Amino acid sequence: MQIIDGKALSAKYREKLKSEIQSLKSRGVTPGLAVILVGDDPGSQVYVRNKIKACEELGITGFECRYPADTDEKTVIAKIEELNANPDCDGILVQLPLPRHLDERKILSYIDVKKDVDGFSAYQTGLMCLGTPDLLPCTPHGVIELIKSTGVEIAGKNAVVIGRSNIVGKPMFHLLLQNNATVTVCHSKTRDLGSITSKADILVVAIGKAKFVKKEMVKEGAIVIDVGMDRDENGKLCGDVDFEDVKEKCSFITPVPGGVGPMTITMLMSNTVAAANRRPK
Ligand code: NAP
């Protein structure tokens, strides 16, 4: 079994991004990413901090926009419109989940699709589904890069995704399909889940349940990608896969932390640089 080191792969990508940012700067362009955070959810605070930190390390301007939990819709939308018009801001991200009184879909729909570096808009999702992607959703894109880093060909493989959320499971299906895997998507209504997952050459798990996947559910020699970010019974960060139980059965596996997480942020940086590249020369 080999561990797929998301941190190391991420560092490699970030080196490449640094040189792209240098060449953008030499023509007077500094990429800019705005992160909007409403409320004080502790998980979201950590994610936002990590994103701004990554910006700083790479030389991207980070616009951190924080609002109290009771902020109204109008205020958030006005900020998005201001950022849409700001030529120094190439990417806009609204940290999810938003407080319950805010309509997530409505608010996200105000982001200029060319600045939608999370890739969640109907426009970016549509392009991805058509196989003509522009800004890919960061987590599924990172997962594809992690799988490719193993050197194992995706084409022709039997891939199974557990989870069908709009931000992970569904786009994961499209990206695996575009890489010519034969893909099955499972969810909470799937019957006899283990009989499906145990036929997967590539298993991607994104359900949000700590250590849910056990070795009986995994095919011998499979590539296992764990998207989950959960807490175990002791409050320690862990994934949706029971790593210790599964590790000896698979050929490659991502750890949590240090697998999908760092690649997600790197793909966000990569989208921001791609958006900045569109500025007029
Ligand atoms: P989500 O919106 O809650 O979706 C969970 C999906 O899992 C749903 O489709 C649900 O099915 C399915 N599911 C739940 N229990 C199941 C079961 N027992 N058997 C089969 N399917 C089941 O979650 P998400 O946003 O996709 O996130 C999933 C996990 O990934 C979370 O731990 C999250 O924190 C993590 N995450 C990590 C990153 C990263 O960068 N590392 C990024 C995003 C998310 P139904 O549709 O039928 O309800």
245-272 average pLDDT score: 97
What radius of gyration, in Å, describes the C-alpha atoms of the chain? 19
Chain centroid, CA 34 distance in Å = 17
Question: Which residue type, as a one-letter code, is found at position 2?
Answer: Q
Q: What are phi and psi of 67, to 5 degrees?
A: -135, 150
The pLDDT tens digits for 33-51 are 999 999 999 889 999 999 9
| Rounded Cα–Cα distance for residues 90 and 189 (Å) | 40
CATH 3.40.50.10860 residue window(s) in the chain: 29-112
66-95 average pLDDT score: 98
Tell me how far the alpha carbon of residue 95 lies from the centroid of ligand 1, in angstroms: 17
Residue 238 has pLDDT above 90, yes or no: yes
Alpha helices in 131-258 (DSSP H): 138-148, 169-178, 193-197, 243-246
Q: Which atom of ligand 1 is nearest to the CA of 230?
A: 32
Task: Say if ligand 1 is within 6 A of residue 227 CB.
Answer: yes
Tell me how far the alpha carbon of residue 206 lies from the centroid of ligand 1, in angstroms: 4
- The pTM assigned to this predicted structure is 0.97
Q: How many CB atoms lie within 10 A of CB 178?
A: 15
CATH 3.40.50.720 residue window(s) in the chain: 138-261
Tokens of 2: 């080999």
Residue 223 has pLDDT above 80, yes or no: yes
| Domain 29-112 indexed as CATH 3.40.800.10 | no
DSSP 213: B
The pLDDT tens digits for 102-159 are 999 999 999 999 999 999 999 999 999 999 999 999 999 999 999 999 999 999 999 9
DSSP H or E run through 242: none
State the Cα torsion 18-24-27-28 to the nearest 10°. Answer: -90
Q: How many CB atoms lie within 10 A of CB 222?
A: 25
Q: How many CB atoms lie within 10 A of CB 155?
A: 8
Residue 281 has pLDDT above 90, yes or no: no
Question: How high does pLDDT run on average in the chain?
Answer: 97
DSSP 64: E
CATH class belonging to 138-261: alpha beta
**Would residue 118 show up in a list of annotated catalytic residues for this protein?**
yes
193-217 average pLDDT score: 98
Q: What are phi and psi of 226, to 5 degrees?
A: -105, 105
| Rounded Cα–Cα distance for residues 162 and 142 (Å) | 17
